[in-house]
Amino acid sequence: MAELTRRFDWSKTPVGPLDTWPDTLLTTVNLLLATRHPMFLWWGPELIQFYNDGYRPSIREDKHPKALGQRGMECWPEIWHIIGPQIEAVMTKGEATWHRNALVPIHRNGKLEDVYWTYSYSPVRDREGNILGTLVTCSETTEEVLGERRLRQSEARFRRLVEEANVGFVIGDLAGNLTYLNPTMLNLLGYTAEEVDAGLVRWSDLTPAEYAEVDARAVQELRQFGVAQPYEKAYIAKDGRKIPLLVGAAMLAETEGRSQEVAAFTADLSELKRAESTLRQTEKLAVVGRLASSIAHEINNPLEAVTNLLYLIASEDLPETLTKYVRMAQQELARVANITTQTLRFHRQSTNPKTASLSQILDGVLTLFQGRLRNADIIVDKQFGNAGPVMSYEGDLRQVFTNLLSNAIDATPPGGKIIVRERDVTDWRSGTRGVRVTIADTGHGMSAETRKMIFDPFFTTKGITGTGLGLWVSAEILNKHGAKIRVRSRRKQPGQGTVFSILFRADGVAAREALADVAEKRSA
């Protein structure tokens, strides 16, 4: 630019030839050309332009070299509405300006581009203090501004991802200080962000002692490799509960003035652990069921022999007292035979539905509960109305009625009552005929909140003795049968207790499967 400035024919501009320039202009131009910082000069009323090598890359070939010696307004028509008033304030009032990261779009690369500048306009004065020009010291900050903007957008996306994620996110250091827990983690552990900010939550407070060894291995991996492989552990919530988690961690980049931090991602394994426990219990129950069925089958042979022997004894001419005892033995033996028959039916189920009497299924289930009902001093009122048969999977319905009756017995106090009713009905909404089964107890009842969740998997009010799957499985079975179940419950007298009412369509399973076939054909 120094060479271009010396060779330029200034005589064709209002500035005039080089040898006529005033000392102030010569000194300012020499200063401008000698520095590597981007600088620009507007001189005189016509604002004739001078600039240096530091400024040239910003204006590119669109304005270089024709900008040299050109009038300001002719060179910058696209931004004159921005810079014109600022230059006028400098030239007329001597008011210097300072702007940081200001958007001043200019024509370059063949189009109008958004360009950001940090710049100052300063008056250039002669010895008498007269303002003769405007000196511009500037830096293009487009990349800096756009980089900061991208960084803010990235940080905003990351923060939103972390704060709305359904997995836990924790930031702390290897000394155990925690600086951030995302909302999911705060809700899981029961802490507040204010408690974390105040330093009241530490890694050591969250970790049970039995996980010290696996945590130490994770810290060693972090120091050696920068990441720790995911591993299972537990955190202690604020209320003292141990929450099983899957944890993975990575070292974060060092920041000035702060110790190196660790980011840990956690996934709550509570539901998975409950499901695993339930699966193990279900497998055990299946084994017990098969064993019970096997035992019941083996018992049948000696039972039949004893039954025959009692029959032969009863046919003899016995004293009245002995005859009475033999009849009592036959009745009790008949009860045992009935129990073994019902046990076998629980284990055996046809793969195809068939018509079945719901009252007979209910009778069979009640037989299994006779001992428990007698011990609990609970009266059962059977109200069977000779209802018609229902197309069903008999074994599945036994499971449903077993769940409902078992829950009713659990809820009913000694001396209480359970009503089991079966009758033919017509659904007044649809006109569909079917059979309604009602199981009502005089137990303690349920709250509205409990009633809303009883069909949710793993929800139980029985503590560690309950799986929370009985009613959920029952609802699935009833759905398969096309049956509708309703629940009413009251916790205060009069009318305290719970009523489960189930409406079975006479062709429930067949109608349900026919609809499923139609849906499958349509989707195909």
**What is each CA distance from 295 to 302, 341, 400, in whole angstroms?**
12, 11, 23
Please report, in angstroms and rounded to a whole number, the separation of the first and last CA atoms in the chain.
76
Give the separation between CA 424 and CA 505, rounded to whole angstroms: 10
Whether 219 has a pLDDT exceeding 80, the answer reads yes
Cβ burial of 180 (10 Å; 0-12, 13-18, 19+) is middle
Count of helices and strands (H, E) across the chain:
18, 19
CA nearest to 416, candidates 438, 441, 439:
441
Give the separation between CA 376 and CA 410, rounded to whole angstroms: 9
Give the separation between CA 387 and CA 368, rounded to whole angstroms: 22
Give the separation between CA 302 and CA 308, rounded to whole angstroms: 10
Higher pLDDT among residues 257 and 67, named by residue: 67
What is residue 419's predicted lDDT score, i.e. its pLDDT? 94
The stretch 156-178 carries a mean pLDDT of: 84
Domain extent listing, the chain: 2-139, 165-268, 270-348, 353-515
What is residue 124's predicted lDDT score, i.e. its pLDDT? 96
* Angle at alpha carbon of residue 354, lines to 348 and 355, rounded to 5°: 120
What is residue 501's predicted lDDT score, i.e. its pLDDT? 94
Least-confidence region, from 282-296, 450-464, 465-479: 282-296
CB 125 within 8 A of CB 131: yes
Query: Which of 3.40.50.300, 3.30.565.10, 2.60.410.10, 2.50.20.10 would CATH assign to domain 353-515?
Result: 3.30.565.10
What is residue 303's predicted lDDT score, i.e. its pLDDT? 72
**What is each CA distance from 367 to 329, 341, 464, in whole angstroms?**
18, 10, 27
Least-confidence region, from 131-135, 321-325, 399-403: 321-325
CA nearest to 227, candidates 252, 247, 249:
249
Q: Do domains 2-139 and 165-268 have the same CATH topology?
A: yes
Task: List strand residue ranges (DSSP E) for 10-152, in order.
Answer: 39-43, 48-51, 97-103, 106-108, 111-113, 116-125, 131-140
CB-based contacts of 215, cutoff 8 Å, min separation 6: 207, 233
What is residue 520's predicted lDDT score, i.e. its pLDDT? 46
Tell me: cis bond preceding 65? Omega within 30 of 0 counts.
yes
With tokens 């969740």, the residue in question is: 453
Instruction: Give DSSP secondary structure letters for 141-170.
Output: -HHHHHHHHHHHHHHHHHHHHHHH-SSEEE
Q: What is the dihedral of CA 267, 272, 273, 277, to 10 degrees?
A: 180
Give the separation between CA 71 and CA 505, rounded to whole angstroms: 94
What is residue 453's predicted lDDT score, i.e. its pLDDT? 85
Whether 173 has a pLDDT exceeding 90, the answer reads no
pLDDT grade, residue 408 (50/70/90)? Answer: very high
Alpha-carbon Rg for the chain in angstroms: 45
Least-confidence region, from 214-218, 357-361, 458-462: 458-462
Whether 116 has a pLDDT exceeding 60, the answer reads yes
What is residue 70's predicted lDDT score, i.e. its pLDDT? 95
The stretch 241-256 carries a mean pLDDT of: 83
pTM of the model: 0.44
Evaluate the CA torsion angle 58, 60, 63, 66 in order and state its sign. Answer: positive
Higher pLDDT among residues 468 and 351, named by residue: 468
Q: Which CATH class is domain 270-348?
A: mainly alpha
The stretch 144-151 carries a mean pLDDT of: 92
Least-confidence region, from 158-167, 221-230, 256-265, 382-391: 256-265
Q: What is the dihedral of CA 50, 54, 57, 63, to 10 degrees?
A: 0
Highest-confidence range of 229-238, 455-464, 507-516, by mean pLDDT? 229-238
Give the separation between CA 183 and CA 172, rounded to whole angstroms: 16
Least-confidence region, from 4-8, 286-290, 366-370: 286-290
On the CB side of 519, CA atoms within 13 Å amount to: 6
Give the separation between CA 11 and CA 20, rounded to whole angstroms: 10
Average per-residue pLDDT for the chain: 84
What is residue 271's predicted lDDT score, i.e. its pLDDT? 80
pLDDT grade, residue 98 (50/70/90)? Answer: very high
Whether 31 has a pLDDT exceeding 90, the answer reads yes
Identify the CATH number of the domain defined by range 2-139: 3.30.450.20
CATH 1.10.3720.10 fits 165-268, yes or no: no
What is residue 300's predicted lDDT score, i.e. its pLDDT? 67
Give the separation between CA 299 and CA 341, rounded to whole angstroms: 10
3-state secondary structure of 199: coil
pLDDT grade, residue 521 (50/70/90)? Answer: very low
CB 410 within 8 A of CB 431: no
What is residue 516's predicted lDDT score, i.e. its pLDDT? 47
Token representation of residue 216: 């130490």
